[in-house]
Amino acid sequence: MYFRSILAILTMLGAFASTSHAQGSVLTGRVFSDSGMLLVGAEVVLNGPTNLQRTNDKGEFKFHAVPSGLQIIGVRMLGFAPRVDTIEVADAGEVRREYKLARIETTLPNVPVTATILDRKLFEFYDRRKFGMGRFLDSAEFAKAAGTLTSDKLKKLSGLMIVRGRGQAAYVTSTRSLASASRRTCTANVWLDYINLGTGFNVNEIDPSHIAAIEWYAGTSSVPARFAVPAKPANPYCGTLVIWLR
């Protein structure tokens, strides 16, 4: 159920890698299991889930007209740990990559053998919550928060500020970083499950009923290593928001 839900939501999201104008390159590759078996039907996304493919009967994928610059590739398949890769693409040509996905173990410490994918994700969530380094909302707390939009419910988190865009668009930033962001307000770095969507993501593109848990880190020192992404001078970010889907 989780796998079908995330696919339905990800198709609404945009691309977030920085690119430049060019004729475009071709990105090809294959996806294997850690035992070397070709994975048929693995999901490969390029710069966001709106550009999604599934591997063919040879485990292959192929993207055409890939712009030059920094590109983000996400690879996932049910039963395997997802992979995220960042590559630099030239103006034109062909880039080839091969990815191996590790099969998810059937047991985790203190997690029942019957645990679902959601259970595994929330195991990490509650484990970090014990240390209290960030701000956390589980599904019950998130549902109780006022408002019908995701941005309305996120206001409950200390140190988080909502910046409004056109229509119902809403972007997250950290109140701690506003004073140092002298040139402009920098938005938060957003993660959707294990995929980094970067900055400038409209949180209202996600139906709040699909959200299982939220993690928020207003400062940089408290961000877990899993979600720590080096900020670039041309594209800084203020705070880290992690959204876990049902």
pLDDT digits (tens, 9 = 90+) for 28-74: 999 999 889 999 999 999 987 678 899 999 999 999 999 888 888 99
Nearest to 156 by CA among 214, 201, 196, 197: 214
pLDDT at residue number 10: 44
112-116, 126-130, 139-143, 241-245, range with greatest mean pLDDT: 241-245
Q: 28: helix, coil or strand?
A: strand
Expressed in angstroms, the distance from the first to the final Cα of the chain is: 8
Retrieve residue 214's tokens: 């939220």
Residues 196, 224 contacting (CB under 8 angstroms): no
Check whether 238 has a pLDDT greater than 90.
Answer: no
Check whether 88 has a pLDDT greater than 60.
Answer: yes
CA angle 203, 124, 117 (to 5 degrees): 80
What average pLDDT does the segment 148-155 reach? 90
pLDDT digits (tens, 9 = 90+) for 167-212: 888 899 888 765 544 445 678 889 988 888 888 889 998 888 889 8
5-9, 111-115, 205-209, 230-234: which range is least confident on average?
5-9
**Location of structure tokens 């983000």:** 72
CATH of 117-245, one of 2.60.130.10, 3.40.1390.30, 2.60.120.260, 2.170.130.10: 2.170.130.10
Class of domain 2-101: mainly beta
HSE, CB side, 13 Å, CA atoms: give it for residue 241: 31
Question: Does the predicted model carry a pTM greater than 0.85?
Answer: no
Grade residue 19 by pLDDT with cuts at 50, 70 and 90: very low
What average pLDDT does the segment 216-237 reach? 79
Q: 209: helix, coil or strand?
A: helix
Phi, psi of 210 (to 5 degrees): -90, -5
Mean per-residue pLDDT over the chain, rounded: 80
Grade residue 4 by pLDDT with cuts at 50, 70 and 90: very low
Grade residue 109 by pLDDT with cuts at 50, 70 and 90: low
Grade residue 23 by pLDDT with cuts at 50, 70 and 90: low
What are the extents of the domains in the chain? Answer: 2-101, 117-245
pLDDT at residue number 199: 84
CA distance 106 to 67: 39
Check whether 9 has a pLDDT greater than 50.
Answer: no
Check whether 107 has a pLDDT greater than 60.
Answer: no
CA distance 237 to 200: 9
Phi, psi of 18 (to 5 degrees): -85, 130
Check whether 154 has a pLDDT greater than 70.
Answer: yes
Say yes or no: do domains 2-101 and 117-245 share a fold: no
Q: Residue 245 CA to chain centroid, in angstroms?
A: 11
- The number of residues making up the chain comes to 246
